[in-house]
Amino acid sequence: MKWWVGLLALLLVIVFGSLGALYVRTFVVHRAHGIILFVANGLDLSLLDKARHQAAARGQVMNLDSLDQFCLVNVEGLESAIPDEAAASTALASGLRVHNGMVGLTQDQKDLNTLIYAAQHAGRSTGLVTTRSLTDTTPLAFYGRTPGRPGYELQNAAELIDSSGIDIILGGGAQYFTPANVLNERGRIDGRDLVADAGRNGYTVVQQSHDLNQIATWRTRQLLGLFSKDEFIFSALHSSGTTEPSLADMTRMAVKCLQYNIGGYLLVVDAGQIEEAARNNWTDLALNEVFALDAAIGTARDYAGNGSLVVVTSNFNLGSLDRTRAETDQIHAPQMDAKGGYEWLAGPGGTPETPEDRLWMKEQIAQGVFSANPNDLLHPAPAVHFARRADLTTGLAWLAAGGFSAEQFGGFIQNDQIFGLIQGLF
């Protein structure tokens, strides 16, 4: 063999070896295959501490505490120290602070890119999971562009099916996807059946938790699950016959469907019912939602594997909650007050303060959700308290991360920085 042939072979080895190293360093080492972003609406540090205390009392450690990075997040608004949910969600989803009331739009009505669309541009599959309506503010911030005012649900539902391109869509809000009729008064007035349209466009459609668990994930690339008319019921009130899957089940199925994309995936999971319970000072219900979120975090870590990144962040800060039932010093039977309302239903709490509260309470009794009879409580765990609703505050939010490149999430960051940190791993 001539000397130059050997030299050429050596040079080829060096060149291809260098290209291989460059590929690994550029496209493998700095890319997380799976990125799962949990948005814990309303989960402030005081509620999180209550959950940790309850878990410790049971001899358990929360999955959230297995995430090895933690940081505080400044959620200050653009024109106000206190953002609303629309502005806070848009900063998280798009990396830009906007005025209150705007979702995915700047003040001059310019569309913003979102993490989901950035992931799609990078060749990733995408998923959106929520325990609320898919048209609610936080889920909407990841795919929609509309002012955050009431009455846009029908438009948002159409945008989700027609143009979002999201592969796995699981949540509530079914009423906005099908035509209005006697049984669906808030349905579509344009006559469209978006569920049927999704099916024709290649989506597998499910509406029951049982059907979701039967999905063959190895061959399902597009999935639409609509499991409730609007938001889900609280996890603590689930009965054995419920048609709504748990947040953990939806997360598991989404990861299993998405992980087949060799280019990776981004999954956004909105644990929205924490906020609903926390805003109403339903402390025990809120804690149950925290534990439902924690179960979903554990599921995500189990199924996503070591090459993936799990990020959990609270979207905004709410005022602290009232005491739980276990923390209440005195528990007594419900009594009628002078206004015709019960002092408490399924747990200790205050007398309803407004006509709306009293009407809500009577409706819940009439529907069988709660019982006024202390010997026949349908669900004795949650404390139903009618104190004034909690609202957003100037307090700091938080973020925890574990897995691939989690070390970059630490210290003190701004909420509009999260977009860039995650996008950098695409």
pLDDT for 317 equals 80
Evaluate whether residue 35 is within a structural domain: yes
Tell me the mean pLDDT in the region 362-369: 62
Tell me the mean pLDDT in the region 263-287: 91
> Residues 43, 184: one domain?
yes
How many Å is the Cα radius of gyration of the chain?
Answer: 24
Residue 53 is part of a domain; what is its CATH number?
Answer: 3.40.720.10
> Residues 203, 347: one domain?
no
> Residues 165, 231: one domain?
yes
pLDDT for 348 equals 37
Evaluate whether residue 22 is within a structural domain: no
Evaluate whether residue 262 is within a structural domain: yes
pLDDT for 392 equals 67
Evaluate whether residue 11 is within a structural domain: no
> Residues 281, 382: one domain?
no
Evaluate whether residue 323 is within a structural domain: no
- Judged against a pLDDT cut of 80, whether residue 14 lies above it is answered with no
pLDDT for 129 equals 98
> Residues 310, 339: one domain?
no
- Judged against a pLDDT cut of 50, whether residue 381 lies above it is answered with no
CA distances from 6 to 3, 16, 17, 358 (A): 5, 15, 16, 89
Q: 55 lies in which domain range?
A: 31-316+398-423
pLDDT tens track for 188-215: 988 899 999 999 999 999 999 999 989 9
- Judged against a pLDDT cut of 90, whether residue 78 lies above it is answered with no
Evaluate whether residue 260 is within a structural domain: yes
Return the structure tokens found at 88: 């806070």
Evaluate whether residue 130 is within a structural domain: yes
Q: How many domains does the chain have?
A: 2
pLDDT tens track for 295-326: 999 999 999 988 899 999 998 887 656 666 66
What is the pLDDT of the chain when averaged over all its residues?
82
Evaluate whether residue 227 is within a structural domain: yes
Tell me the mean pLDDT in the region 128-152: 84
Task: Provide the percentage of residues in the chain whose pLDDT is more than 70.
Answer: 74
Residues 6+ apart with CB under 8 A from 394: 76, 81, 82, 317
pLDDT tens track for 382-421: 334 444 566 667 678 899 999 999 999 988 999 999 999 9
Pairwise pLDDT comparison (350 vs 101), residue with the higher score = 101
> Residues 79, 189: one domain?
yes
> Residues 37, 106: one domain?
yes
> Residues 300, 380: one domain?
no
pLDDT for 84 equals 87
